[in-house]
């Protein structure tokens, strides 16, 4: 079964891998995640763990393509340390919803617009259970293609409308979101 909204095969492969980890339709355990099973996807994979001490998600894994988007290291840093206040709050709320509900979050379009980069891509965020059986980890796959725009001082047109949506864990859309992270 492939994620119904995705266009990029890597997002589909990531979803298929995650779905294969599910036991009785539940949320997979983090311990079941084996990076060697999705080696070709690892540059596009990232994972954050909720930490009670910081009251924030902390980056635990970020592939090379993810790291290339940031000017500072992400490993062991919170959303609040990596992103500005408004964006980190948006992402924190979104990822808490992914864990709490549980749902998936899918985004397509200008996914790195907060970094003032022009390009398009897709992102899928899914929950994982921690060692105590609590859904407090999010794992994502982000694929991105940067584009050159002839006039650096002008905003390029979006190739299509941005799509940001919570879905069921099987990919059925639940709610459209206004702001992307």
pLDDT of amino acid 118: 58
Q: What is the mean pLDDT of residues 34-48?
A: 96
3-class DSSP string for 1-34: CCCCCCCCHHHHHHHHHHHHHCCCCCCCEHHHCC
Half-sphere exposure in the Cβ direction for 67 (13 Å, CA):
12
Cite the beta strand spans of the chain per DSSP E: 45-51, 56-62, 104-109, 119-129, 135-146, 163-167, 173-176
Q: Residues 101-139: pLDDT tens digits?
A: 999 999 988 765 545 555 678 999 999 999 999 999 999
Distance CA 167, CA 172 (A): 5
Mean pLDDT of 9-30: 94
**Is the predicted pLDDT of residue 150 greater than 60, yes or no?**
no
- The C-alpha atoms of residue 118 and residue 98 are separated, in whole angstroms, by 27
Residue 150, both tokens: 């002839």
- Count CB-CB contacts under 10 A for residue 156: 14
Q: Domains, the chain, ranges and CATH?
A: 9-25+41-148+159-176 (3.30.450.20)
Average pLDDT of the segment spanning 44-63:
96
Share the mean pLDDT of the chain: 86
d(CA 52, CA 140): 21
| 79-101 pLDDT, tens digit each | 999 988 998 999 999 999 999 99
């Amino acid at each position: 079964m492939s994620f119904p909204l995705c266009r990029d095969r890597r997002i589909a492969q990531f979803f298929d891998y995650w779905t294969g980890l599910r036991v009785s339709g539940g949320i997979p355990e983090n311990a079941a995640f084996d990076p060697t099973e999705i080696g070709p996807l690892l540059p596009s994979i990232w994972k954050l763990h909720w930490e009670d001490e910081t009251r924030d998600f902390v980056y635990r894994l970020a592939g090379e393509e993810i790291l290339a988007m940031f000017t500072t290291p992400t490993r062991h840093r919170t959303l609040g340390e990596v992103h500005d206040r408004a964006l980190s709050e948006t992402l924190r709320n979104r990822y808490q919803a992914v864990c709490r509900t549980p749902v998936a979050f899918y985004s397509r379009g200008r996914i790195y617009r907060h970094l003032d980069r022009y390009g398009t891509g897709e992102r899928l965020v899914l929950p994982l259970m921690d060692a105590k059986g609590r859904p407090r980890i999010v794992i994502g796959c982000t694929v991105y293609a940067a584009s050159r725009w002839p006039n650096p001082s002008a905003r390029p047109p979006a190739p299509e409308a941005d799509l940001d949506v919570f879905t069921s864990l099987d990919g059925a859309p639940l709610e459209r979101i206004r702001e992307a992270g």
